[in-house]
Amino acid sequence: MPRPATSRTGPRPRPAPARVAPPETTRAPPPIAEPSPEPDGRRRVVVESPTPRVDGDASFPAKRTLGDRVIVEADVFADGHDLVACRLLFRPRGAGEWREAPMQALGNDRFRGTLVPDALGRWEVEVEGWVDAFGSWRRDLAKRDAAAQASEADLEIGAALVVAAAKRAPPRERRALEGLAADLGRGGLAGRVALALDPELERLVARHPDLELATRHRGTPLEVDPSAARFSTWYEMFPRSASSEPGRHGTLRDVVERLDHVAGMGFDVLYLPPIHPIGTSHRKGRNNATRAAPGDVGSPWAIGGAAGGHDAIDPALGTRADFRALVAAAGERGIAIALDLAFQCSPDHPWIRQHPEWFRHRPDGTIQHAENPPKKYEDIVPFDFECEQWRQLWAALAGVVEHWIGEGVKIFRVDNPHTKAFPFWEWMIAEVRARHPEVFFLAEAFTRPKVMYRLAKVGFSQSYNYFPWRTTKRELTGYLTELTRPPVADFFRANLWVNTPDILTEQLQHGGRAAFVQRLVLAATLGASYGIYGPPFELMEAEPREPGGEEYLDSEKYQLRTWDLEGRPSLAELIARVNRIRRENPALQHDRGLAFHPVDNDALLCFSKVAPSGDSTILVVVNLDPAHPHGGWVDLDLAALGPALHGPKEDPASGDTSRPPVPNARAARPFQLHELLTDARLLWQGARNYVALDPRVVPAAIFRLRRRVRSEVDFDYYL
């Protein structure tokens, strides 16, 4: 009887060998090629994730202003356990010599360095890292010495590193390093180890690092603007309404007469809507009527007529000499003239005849007027940025800017830039600022967030934004937090306008004087730059053209107005006080020091601003309800208030810096607040304090925190 196959005990037969391909089809692997000389594979240091950074690469510059302290960080590390060192390299674009600054370790392979740009325009920034051979050797020697393992060989290695540093040093330090290297080779071992671990030797060697295998990483370039791009206070007025005589067309000379009034309120930028000739074809009438009545002056944004185009001045306003006189007179009062840059034409503009190819045509051959359905702007013709002659169009528009720079204009408020091509703005602004770095541009871009941000990236130094419609605590806190922190703050500067000729918000229409004061204080303290559409805001004009709309009734956009600045109730005195507070307190001249503090009442908004230097702290509380008094408990984040209040990060008595921070005992004592709108003095104590605001009196409080100083007789007083 045959046995089952499973009972077999002998070795199993081997499987047949796998079939091998014929020799003619086999291929030997290619030889490993030597690494190419570039990049050098011996460069072991990695430099990555630098900040500031716009869009994760170096396509667009980060924005700063002249004299800002710019903090640059990067991750710098290498394989293994060697220490690394790094430095910051920077220079104005086109300069030959690099400047440098050390970078300090923050922990977790992160390093930080600072630079202070001292010239306007574009700056190049790089981070360079290398293996710190001497620092690594010194660290390891200290460990060996602690374990009684230091040897002659260790000191010979260190001496060689010092000799190598000497060869990189200038003559004076070279001799010192050569002497120290010799000392490392003679005498007792303990003394030589002590010399090797001397911090002074480490500092001397560190001044002459071995950079042969250093890694350099191109950081984000910087665009350095004039300080007015960071901190400025804008007043808008129509020159044609500057006359004090009802019915008379105002002139540029009338604007000169108004300069003392504008300067007296503390404004340093006077923005003028277009001052060019206005077309007559399809001219708009009062309150945007589609047909103009005899004597109607039309919209200043319908640019161009028989008297010229974008480089001309409306004869009704005056002459080129009058404009130059205005610029000079304003400058004597510390006011810069900002001119509207509206790249569009009336149907009567000379370019319509000279360059019809720059405009879009309908099938019937007529030129397409501007529209935003269902809105129509028959008096305006847009440029066609997709036309075949776009290069000539670009050059002509840049020529307009150059013309007005020649007339003394350094600031341009750009009308609706989001309706023109991004590549044009990027090219034009770069071209202009390369020749005139003191010039900057404000984008009137009430548009989608990504479009608004793109305009900032391609070159606009400031921008309009959604502030007019942010009214609740949640809206204001969320939006201003977004605008004043990276990544947005690295490229976008908000100019907070409370109103414009196009925007009379519902809150201003119905909130009365308290709403105007509330929005003024919010704009002037939340933002380093803010603006008002002057006489209507100053005189609290609040009547819309139609219910539910945001257009002013009898708007200056379409007719002459005469403003009685002395005989009507006015906010001029309060505006002057607020602007004086801004000038006297550096904390309000920057956006990055903003912090919000909790209040147990949603009608109250509390925030602070601290100057980068730390020597100026402002605390603001605003009642967001213009109709009712409100009170609530404020919980201050004392650490966010800067050196004025917060204490050390560790308990100095314990000497243990590893312990968590303890509350600052002195911060629990009373501290003084000077309320700058009413000149009142208050004492608060600790983080939790009560505040109440009645909008019938004043809906806001602006506190300056006073720094406490201890005297020799052991009592507190305030600076």
pTM above 0.85, yes or no: yes
Domain end, chosen from 224, 239, 258, is at 224
Asked if 417 and 523 sit in the same domain, the reply is yes
For residue 144, give its domain range. Answer: 45-224
Residue 13 confidence (pLDDT) above 90: no
pLDDT score of 377: 86
Q: Would residue 356 count as lying in a domain?
A: no
Asked if 608 and 691 sit in the same domain, the reply is yes
Q: Is the peptide bond before 52 cis (omega within 30 degrees of 0)?
A: yes
Domain end, chosen from 584, 607, 636, is at 584
Catalytic residue, from 415, 490, 541, 591: name it: 415
pLDDT score of 653: 34
Cα(709)–Cα(519) distance, integer angstroms: 35
pLDDT score of 25: 45
pLDDT score of 365: 85
Average pLDDT estimate for 646-654: 39
**pLDDT tens digits, one per residue of 542-572:** 999 999 999 999 999 999 999 999 889 999 9
Q: What is the mean pLDDT of the chain?
A: 90
Residue 3 confidence (pLDDT) above 50: no
Domain end, chosen from 584, 609, 632, is at 584
**pLDDT tens digits, one per residue of 487-496:** 999 999 999 9
| Alpha carbon distance, N-terminus to C-terminus of the chain | 115
**pLDDT tens digits, one per residue of 198-253:** 999 999 999 999 999 999 998 789 999 999 999 999 999 999 999 999 999 999 99
Q: Would residue 298 count as lying in a domain?
A: no
Domain count along the chain: 3
Active site (annotated) includes residue 152: no
Residue 186 confidence (pLDDT) above 90: no
For residue 104, name the pLDDT band (cuts at 50, 70, 90). very high
pLDDT score of 26: 44
Catalytic residue, from 82, 132, 444, 591: name it: 444
Asked if 399 and 499 sit in the same domain, the reply is yes
Range with the lowest mean pLDDT among 26-30, 334-338, 645-649, 653-657?
A: 653-657
pLDDT score of 31: 67
The CATH number of the domain where 338 resides is what? 3.20.20.80
- The better pLDDT of the pair 713, 668 is held by 668
**pLDDT tens digits, one per residue of 413-452:** 999 999 999 999 999 999 999 999 999 999 999 999 999 9
3-class DSSP assignment, residue 437: coil
Residue 286 confidence (pLDDT) above 80: yes
pLDDT score of 701: 98
Asked if 210 and 333 sit in the same domain, the reply is no
Asked if 127 and 244 sit in the same domain, the reply is no
The DSSP annotation for 40-109 comes to -TT--EEEEEEES-BTTBSSSPEEEETT--EEEEEEEEESTT--EEEEEEEEETT-SSPEEEE-EEEETT
Q: Would residue 362 count as lying in a domain?
A: no
Task: State both tokens at 214.
Answer: 């250093």
Average pLDDT estimate for 483-503: 97
pLDDT score of 667: 47
Active site (annotated) includes residue 415: yes
Q: For residue 124, count other CB atoms closer than 10 A to its CB.
A: 19
Q: Would residue 569 count as lying in a domain?
A: yes
- C-beta of residue 626 within 8 angstroms of C-beta of residue 690: no
Q: Would residue 435 count as lying in a domain?
A: yes
- C-beta of residue 550 within 8 angstroms of C-beta of residue 505: yes
The CATH number of the domain where 91 resides is what? 2.60.40.10
